[in-house]
Structure formats: structure tokens, C-alpha cells
Structure 1
Amino acid sequence: MSKKLLFTIKLNLSAGNTIPTSTLSSILGQYGINSVNFCKEYNKLTINNNGFIIPINLNIYSNKSYSFLLKTPTTSNLILKILKLKKGSVYPNKQFKGILNNKDINKIINIKKKDLYLLTRKQIKKIIFGTAQSLGVLY
């Protein structure tokens, strides 16, 4: 019996310490995937990125098997970690939380380049600036 791709689910999960919550279990359970085993496998692969939010594409096949593609941490998560902030500003255009320098921006570009390989550095920089602005971070 060949395995046929049924669904692709996009999830953002905490790296290295994901637990089978009721929400995650209900999403995976309806496709016959054991959420405990999934979390163990995911945590093993993301242990080096502990504390980051990692987007994944979860492919579910007809024989109830799955595979997933790990992406780079979200841009907002990278900005918050670099500036050592817990969350962005409630009033992003009035209250500012921090300032990104060129070194930090280049560090984020080098990380995000793996996912955004079709974009130029200038285009990735615009994405970072937009995310930073929505978090109340100056650049």
C-alpha cells in the first residue's frame, strides 16, 4: 500500500519542550497520530533551539504516518530573543521596547535566509523592519 499525502498542517510549536496539550492532541488525534510520540520526536529534533517558536509543516499520509519540515524560528521570536524581551509593545508606534542595530539585523537575515532563499537581503530586511515596527522596536 503506497502512502498518499492527505493533509499538510502548519503549526508553530515551542522548540525542545512541546507537550501534548489538549489542542495539539485534538489536532493530531483526528488523523490518527499519537501526540506523545510526535512531541518526543519533535523535542529531540529541536532541543538545540530551546526557547524559540519553530514553525513546521506537518505532512499526514494515508497510512497514518507523518513527516514534518522544520523551519527557522519566527522573525518576531528572533527579535525578542536578541533584545531579551518577553513580548513586544502594546502601543508599537508610541511606546518603544528596544533598538535593533545592523549587527542584529544581519544575524536575523542570515538565520531567515534558509527559509526565504528566493528573496534578496534587502527584501528580508524589509520583512524584519515590518515585524520590528509591529513589536515596537526601532531600527
Structure 2
Amino acid sequence: MSRFKGSVRLYCMAGAARPSPKIGQALGPLGLNMMQFCKEFNDRTAEIRPDVPLRVLLKAYEDRSFKFVTKPPPTTWFLKKASGLESGSGAPGHRSCGRISIKYIYEIAKVKQETDQHLQFHDLEGIVRMICGTCQSMGLDIVEDTLPPKKINIDL
């Protein structure tokens, strides 16, 4: 490998990266081939659903070679999917936009711990606390997972 030239952070949909102005603006100044990146990214993420946005950390080198690491979607994406919302509250802390069960937060934390290299050695409770902070900044209320009310037999 030659010397390090620069690094870029991108968001790309899994298995569906296409040459676009966004990717071109990121890779162009580094002198990288956009088609080569798209092909390698799509090959590496082919088994993931195409509607999943992935974070990409790309390192470019002076000989026009590159390495990239894909990271899981942002926590907000998971929370929006779990709560069925399009976006968070316009006034978090003042107005709530929805609710999410603590059970889903634990599931999101497990996925993040397994797939994100930087979170592999954090304990699950710490990751849950981070996700709860994201819920608060989005205006999501965290609720306990309660069972539906039992049917009471009223036959006399």
C-alpha cells in the first residue's frame, strides 16, 4: 500500500450503491474510481436488504487504491423502524411523537453490539443507555412491554 491520502464517510443503501453526485463529490477529490467503489460495495452488501442505509468509512491512498468498512445503520433508523415513525419530534422534550418498548431497545442494542466494531466491548446496559438518550432527543417515550388485559369471565 502506498501512503494515506484521506478518508471519507458516506451513507449508501445496502447492495444498491450507484454512481451519483453525492458519491462523486466524496470520491472525486481523492481521485477514486466511483464505479469500482460501487461494484465492491454492492458485492459486499448483497445479502442485506436494499432499504437499509449503511454507514461507510473509506480510506483512500495515493496510488488510487482504497479500503472501506461498512457499519450498521444509525440508531435513529432502528428506532424509527421499531416505532413506525417517519421522523422524530420537532420539539423533543416538549412534545412526544411516539412510544417504543424497552424490549425493542434491548434488541437494537444487541444488534449494534454484534455488528459495530466500536461497540463490541461495551456492556449491553451502556449501549441501552446510549439508545435511551437518542430516544429522548427524538421525542420518543420509552414504555414497559405490558401484556394485553386479560379477559374476565363475567358469566354469572
Q: How does the TM-score come out when normalised to structure 2?
A: 0.78
- Map 1:35-54 to 2 at 5 A: 35-47=34-46, 48-54=48-54
Aligned to 2:75: 75
How many equivalent residue pairs? 138
Provide the C-alpha distance between the structure 1 equivalents of 2:120 and 2:12, rounded to a whole number of angstroms. 22
Q: Greater relative contact order (Cα 8 A, min sep 6): structure 1 or 2?
A: 1
Aligned to 2:122: 119
Q: Which amino acid aligns with 1:7?
A: G
Q: Which amino acid aligns with 1:132?
A: C
CA RMSD in angstroms, aligned pairs only: 1.8
| Structure 2: runs of 5 or more not aligned | 143-156
For residues 74-124 of structure 1, the C-alpha deviation after alignment (integer angstroms, 9 at most, x for no partner) is 101111112222211112223322222122011101111132123211211
With over 3 angstroms needed to count, the CA separation of the structure-2 counterparts of 1:106 and 1:55, relative to structure 1, is: same
Q: Which is greater in Rg?
A: 2
For residues 10-59 of structure 1, the C-alpha deviation after alignment (integer angstroms, 9 at most, x for no partner) is 22223233332213202201222121332232233234142222112101
SS across alignment from 2:45 = helix
With over 3 angstroms needed to count, the CA separation of the structure-2 counterparts of 1:16 and 1:84, relative to structure 1, is: farther
| Structure 1: runs of 5 or more not aligned | none
Aligned to 1:104: 104
**Alpha-carbon distance, 1:6 to partner:** 2.2
Aligned: 1:7 with 2:10: no
- Map 1:124-135 to 2 at 5 A: 124-135=127-138
Provide the C-alpha distance between the structure 2 equivalents of 1:31 and 1:106, rounded to a whole number of angstroms. 39
Q: How does the TM-score come out when normalised to structure 1?
A: 0.86
Q: Moved runs in structure 1, 4+ residues, more than 6 A?
A: none
Provide the C-alpha distance between the structure 1 equivalents of 2:83 and 2:42, rounded to a whole number of angstroms. 25
**Alpha-carbon distance, 1:128 to partner:** 0.3
With over 3 angstroms needed to count, the CA separation of the structure-2 counterparts of 1:97 and 1:18, relative to structure 1, is: farther
